[in-house]
Amino acid sequence: MYIVTGGAGFIGSGVVWKLNRMGVNDILIVDHLDASEKWKNLRGLRFADYLDRTRFLELMQSERDPFGTKAVIHLGACSATTEFNAAFLMENNYRYSQTVCRFCLERSVRFIHASSAATYGDGAAGFNDDLTVLDRLRPLNPYGYSKHAFDLWAKREKLLPRFAALKFFNVFGPNEYHKDDMRSVVCKAYEQIKAGGTMRLFKSYRNDCPDGGQSRDFVYLKDCLEVIGWLIENPGVNGIFNLGTGRARSFNDLARAVFAAMGAAPRIEYIEMPEAIRDKYQYFTEAKMDRLRASGYDAPFTELEDAVADYVKNYLAAPSPYLADGA
């Protein structure tokens, strides 16, 4: 049995889709289906069973493995950078992840864990996934800290040579529709342009960066799923790895790509950034991909324009935007 925690979510449902394409249907999905439309991500996917995250936690704490587990892809977490209940995040993202990690390592089960680029904070210490800089990182929000705390724990306990952890950068793609304000800029831009022909971006508050010039390492969901599939098939590859493209692109670049995919001329409006996030805002992120490449992963990452075009044309503008129903 393959277990995917957060399996009804954005990346999690994508992993189930990827496993199905690899010929794997013996999948246990662990999640918490609340009142959102996250359940729609499961339509069209093949899996053996579903468990609520609370019940799964109870079963993991038993001495035996009740699942016959082959691998756990642990993506379940609260990923909202706007969530400021640090106590909740530490229990849900840090303590829960420790339990899942111990369950796997005590039974020699393949464990793939989702960390985050939010652990890098403002980037002052760089975006290098080498363990020598891990202690110098200073996340800007409780979510980033909860992920960083787990990474530090795994390093302190000398567990990192035994599992793979991925620091996801700015992932976009199908099945993110339930995420409300945490949806990608691509998804929001498509809706804005479709409704009024104009896309809104934040103004810059730094002299060295023009409006819309803030940059991110935007990485397509399908590329992330290729990496995860490769890690499943290569259980000897372990440690913390960045997961981006290795190339930062500006929000202006992203906007132009969305307009081009929609066959429209660019119309961008620059708006004030909320004061609550101005001092926590990252102006630049770019994944250093040397360690993943040195580990043997050699597949190319999709160019931003091509990825946006695939997302817009084959999903957002399609009769059904969900991954299992698209191209």
Distances (CA, A) of 158 to 27, 154, 155, 321: 29, 6, 5, 42
Would you call 222 a catalytic residue per the annotation? no
Q: What share of the chain is helix, strand, coil (3-state, %, to 5)?
A: 45, 15, 40
Question: Which of these ranges, 242-251, 280-289, 314-323, has the smallest mean pLDDT?
Answer: 280-289
Specify if 314 maps to a domain: no
Would you state the structure tokens that stand for residue 156, as one six-digit string?
Answer: 């302190």
Would you call 179 a catalytic residue per the annotation? yes
Would you state the structure tokens that stand for residue 166, as one six-digit string?
Answer: 């991925």
- The range of the structural domain enclosing residue 157 comes to 2-173+217-248+284-302
Average pLDDT over residues 97-118: 96
Specify if 7 maps to a domain: yes
Cα(222)–Cα(227) distance, rounded to whole angstroms?
9
Specify if 257 maps to a domain: no
Residue 206: pLDDT over 70: yes
Average pLDDT over residues 20-27: 97
Q: What is the per-residue pLDDT for 140?
A: 87
Residue 35: pLDDT over 80: no
Structural domains in the chain (count): 1
Q: Among residues 40, 70, 179, 188, which one is catalytic? A: 179
Check which CATH number belongs to the domain holding 223 and give it.
3.40.50.720
Residue 327: pLDDT over 70: no
Query: In the predicted model, what is the mean pLDDT of the chain?
Result: 94
Specify if 26 maps to a domain: yes
Q: pLDDT band at residue 84, thresholds of 50, 70 and 90?
A: confident
Specify if 256 maps to a domain: no
Query: Which residues contact residue 243 at a Cβ distance below 8 angstroms, ignoring those fewer than 6 apart?
Result: 166, 167, 168, 169, 219, 224, 227, 287, 292
Please state whether the predicted TM-score (pTM) of the whole model is above 0.85: yes
Specify if 320 maps to a domain: no
Specify if 105 maps to a domain: yes
Q: Among residues 94, 96, 120, 143, which one is catalytic? A: 143
Residue 240: pLDDT over 70: yes
Specify if 69 maps to a domain: yes
Q: pLDDT band at residue 282, thresholds of 50, 70 and 90?
A: confident
